[in-house]
Amino acid sequence: MVNKVEQYTLHDGVHFRSVRNTKFKTFRISVNFLLPLQKDTAAANALLPYLLSRCTREYPDFTLMSRKMASLYGASLGADVGKLGNMQVMTVSAGGIANRYALEKEDLTAELTKVLCAALFDPVLENGLFREDDFLQEQRQTLEQIDAEISDKRAYALTRCTEIMCAEEPFGISRYGSREAVQALTRAEVTVAWKHMLKTAQVEILVLGDIEPQPVVDAFTKTFGEIERQYGPLSQARSFGRIGGIPRVTEHQDVVQGKMVLGLRVETSQENHPELVPAARLMSAIFGGTPNSRLFLNVREKMSLCYYCSSLYNSTLGLMFVQSGVEFDNMEKAEQAILEQLQAVQEGNFTDADITAAKLSMVNNYNTVEDSLAALEGWYLSQTAAAQVYTPEEYAQLVGKATREEIISTAKGVRLDTVYCLKGQEEAAN
| Domain 5-226 and domain 248-424 have a common topology | yes
What is the per-residue DSSP string for 80-117? EEEEETTEEEEEEEEEEE-GGG-TT---HHHHHHHHHH
**Domain range 5-226, CATH architecture:** 2-Layer Sandwich (3.30)
Q: Which residues contact 308 (CB under 8 A, 6 or more apart)?
A: 300, 323, 324, 325
- What per-residue confidence (pLDDT) applies to 9? 93
Predicted confidence pLDDT, tens digits, the chain (430 residues): 556 788 889 999 999 999 999 899 999 999 999 999 999 999 999 999 999 999 999 999 999 999 999 999 999 999 999 999 999 999 999 999 999 999 999 999 999 999 999 999 999 999 999 999 999 999 999 999 999 988 999 999 999 999 999 998 999 999 999 999 999 999 999 999 999 999 999 999 999 999 999 999 999 999 999 999 998 877 655 555 666 688 999 999 999 999 999 999 999 998 889 999 999 999 999 999 999 999 999 999 999 999 999 999 999 999 999 999 999 999 999 999 999 999 999 999 999 999 999 999 999 999 999 999 999 999 999 988 777 889 999 999 999 999 999 999 999 999 999 999 999 987 665 5
Per CATH, the number for 248-424 is 3.30.830.10
Question: Residue ranges per domain, the chain?
Answer: 5-226, 248-424
Concatenate the DSSP letters of all residues of 35-69 into one string: EE--TTTHHHHHHHHHHHTT--SSS-SHHHHHHHH
Q: How many CA atoms lie within 13 A of 281 on its CB side?
A: 23
What is the chain's alpha carbon radius of gyration, rounded to the nearest angstrom? 23
Other residues' Cβ atoms within 10 Å of the Cβ of residue 66: 13
State residue 243's pLDDT score: 62
Is 354 in contact with 292 (CB distance < 8 Å)? yes
DSSP state of 305: -
The Cα–Cα gap between 51 and 193 comes to: 12
Are 101 and 22 contacting, i.e. CB atoms less than 8 angstroms apart?
no
Q: Are 126 and 379 in contact (CB under 8 A)?
A: no
Helix residue spans in 312-351 (DSSP H): 331-346
